[in-house]
Structure 1
């Protein structure tokens, strides 16, 4: 069985034309994903403090002044902790839904643009579709990106896959997908009962088995890359994720990657 390494490196660089993505880190302590078409660079969420995100960007060969935008999926702290500070220091425009703005979790933002769910918008060469998802936030969305004839889906922080989600993320060439918890680990773990219900509920986070079922519905033939994301440090482990997903790929895990909390995942280019 071929298995990917968590936080594995990649030979792909932004010097090659195409649709690229990388993770600065993913989990309950902070989430941030970079997407680029080689010229346009956007950061999806920023759940890390200023110095930490500057360091993580540098590890991916990026400086905050190279960012064309910060996209915010929802207002939870592990997704917005560093958004306001980063936007203010480097004058980066922020894209978010009105509901996320009304949560008042970002502080002052010099430049912002409203996102209307289900309405495509563009940032230079990137076409972006914001997709409504079921999560316990004010107006949460996730994103599908298109450039160079390829499609990348970022799909985390949802309690279950609705028909709308399935339709919106069908046909992607790469997918950053939530694999938050192993159901048995969550049930037997240290969380209080009310938090277990929230995480495992219809408005919480995807379990490994739910991620596996969703991939089967979306179809695997076109997916070049599947990045397992937002793993709980308390209630999941990369090995549990691979046990759930590798069988879908006939035992070949070469298309799988795991975005871990401490070092994310290196750049990958959709070919």
Structure 2
């Protein structure tokens, strides 16, 4: 099993998760916030083409996650999975796309992969994040959530790798030039995870199998890579868990999970 990011941040998000079983392979793309040509370019940089994608799986309707989904899926005849609430928010863009619905706790069997969506607190219609596994390894994804909940802590337990939002540093956000209302939204319980809250989540989840954690969705205005890395290292120091960061421009290259 392996996973890679095409880019992570407020200007666009897309995550690839791939598994091989014998002579067959399955790759899904989680979200697609980039235009068609940019998505194709970023896929090529990871050694992939659109024909390699078995599905696009959507977390929620915000443009940096869904902006390119339907045009890309329509052009390349790729099925799309999303919650019904998310569909209600974007249905005018979904004509001609093979749509499938999912909800919290469903198990989506997409060839060699199984994806389990779980509900998160975010200011969207029916936002979900996903845990993906192939029978051997589990990758948990949590971006775009405002706070920790017992439900998400349980969902992310026992993963081999986590992609975990570290959106902002609380002090940098407080001191930023953002309008007060935007600061309240970002830092609120339905906004985005601060470095500190990400560290609290990482501390609380079952890390018995965890080998890699990737800090993701960093704000370019209200965070710095060294602050996000420091927060995650504060939990993982001495544990043998690798800490990495995703960036907006390149995401991160393939991370391979092996026994």
TM-score (norm 2): 0.94
Question: Highest relative contact order (Cα 8 Å, sep 6+), 1 or 2?
Answer: 1
Deviation sequence 1:123-182 (CA, Å, 0-9, x none): 011011000110000000000011141111011100011111111111111000000000
Which of 224, 228, 243 matches 2:215? 228
Distance 2:237 2:98 in 1: 47
1:33 matched residue in structure 2: 15
Distance 1:252 1:30 in 2: 32
Structure 1 residues 199 and 253: alpha-carbon distance in aligned structure 2, compared to 1, 3 A threshold: farther
Structure 1 residues 254 and 163: alpha-carbon distance in aligned structure 2, compared to 1, 3 A threshold: closer
Structure 1 residues 109 and 196: alpha-carbon distance in aligned structure 2, compared to 1, 3 A threshold: farther
Structure 1 residues 119 and 254: alpha-carbon distance in aligned structure 2, compared to 1, 3 A threshold: closer
2:144 matched residue in structure 1: 157
Deviation sequence 1:101-144 (CA, Å, 0-9, x none): 11026442420101122111210110110001100000000000
Which of 49, 61, 66 matches 2:35? 49
How many residues align? The count is 253
Distance 1:117 1:247 in 2: 31
Distance 1:88 1:187 in 2: 41
Q: CA RMSD in A?
A: 1.4
- 1:222 positional shift: 2.1
Distance 1:133 1:140 in 2: 6
| 8 Å Cα contact 1:178/1:228 also seen in 2 | yes
- 1:40 positional shift: 0.5
Distance 1:161 1:145 in 2: 20
| 8 Å Cα contact 2:157/2:207 also seen in 1 | no
- Structure 1 residue runs without a partner (length 5+): 1-18
- Structure 2 residue runs without a partner (length 5+): none
1:245 matched residue in structure 2: 232
| 8 Å Cα contact 2:103/2:118 also seen in 1 | no
TM-score (norm 1): 0.90
1:67 matched residue in structure 2: 53
1:6 matched residue in structure 2: none
2:8 is the alignment partner of 1:22: no
Deviation sequence 1:31-90 (CA, Å, 0-9, x none): 000001130010000000111111000000000111100000000000011101111110
Distance 1:247 1:179 in 2: 14
1:95 matched residue in structure 2: 81
Distance 1:47 1:161 in 2: 25
Distance 2:59 2:10 in 1: 15
Structure 1 residues 256 and 103: alpha-carbon distance in aligned structure 2, compared to 1, 3 A threshold: same
